[in-house]
Amino acid sequence: MRIGPLLLKVGGIAIGLVFALIATLRDLFALSQDANESNGRQLHDADSVGEYNHRTGSLDAGNDPYGWYDED
């Protein structure tokens, strides 16, 4: 009975599984980091609604103390 070749096969499979697990964990951490990143904008500061702030050149909630807004 030859145990050496069997141990090589089992060891190779175990090392492959460890590398696959590490790669999966790396990808999961990378995805979670991308999901947590934001540009600091809140829902009320979205570019699609709000009043035009001439200081920043974008739409916002209208509460920027240093910005100026058009009168309606």
Express each pLDDT in 3-61 by its tens digit: 788 899 999 999 999 999 999 999 888 877 655 555 555 555 555 667 888 888 888 87
Q: So what's the pLDDT on residue 2? A: 81
- Domain coverage including residue 19: 4-36+45-60
Domain assignment present for residue 27? The answer is: yes
Assess if residue 68 is contained within a domain.
no
- What backbone torsions phi and psi does residue 9 show, to the nearest 5 degrees? -65, -45
Give dist(CA 21, CA 15) in Å, integer. 10
Residue 66 lies in a domain: no
| 67 is a domain residue | no
Residue of higher predicted confidence among 63 and 32: 63
In a domain, 70, yes or no: no
**What is the pLDDT, as a whole number, of residue 64?**
85
Task: Please count the structural domains in the chain.
Answer: 1
* 9 assigned to some structural domain: yes
At residue 42, the pLDDT reads 59
Res 67: pLDDT:
84
Residues 6+ apart with CB under 8 A from 58: 47, 52
